[in-house]
Amino acid sequence: MELVAFLGAGKGTWAQIAGVINREEWDNIILIGDNSAKKFTSEKDFEFIETNSSRLVELKDDILKKLQGKIKGTEVALTIASGTGKEHMALISALLNLPVGIRFTALTKDGIVFL
């Protein structure tokens, strides 16, 4: 399974993303965020997609364009623990327009769960 996540400006939420990355074996990890999110580090390799638009439709279009050809399967694990509602809407819309299925994923005290 491939993991996709948005890295929002609130760095406190990056620990949740790091936990999801590190506690599961992923075939591919794609992280999306603005220039400040380039500072994110992980024990595992990931691909970073930079996006800078602050307008919803432009953000969705930018993410969609940059995700083209990067998702190998028909379904992704998606964590939206970081980012804003607007960023989440743009990312979910872009994934559905690829098209690819989504399994929401979170780190809990019991480990990784697929919702």
Domain harbouring 24, CATH code: 3.40.50.10770
DSSP 35-85: GGGGG---SS--EEEE----SHHHHHHHHHHHHTTT--SSEEEEE-SSS-H
> Nearest Cα to 105, choosing from 83, 86, 79?
79
Return the sign of the alpha-carbon dihedral for residues 56, 57, 58, 59.
positive
* Residue type at position 64: L
pLDDT the model gives residue 11: 66
Parent domain of 48: 2-114
pLDDT the model gives residue 38: 92
Q: Compute the distance between CA of residue 68 and CA of residue 82 in angstroms, rounded to an integer.
A: 22
pLDDT in tens, the chain (115 residues): 999 999 998 767 899 999 999 999 999 999 999 998 999 999 999 999 999 888 999 999 999 999 999 999 999 999 999 999 999 999 999 999 999 999 999 999 999 999 9
Q: 114, 104 in Cβ contact below 8 A? A: yes
Number of domains in the chain: 1
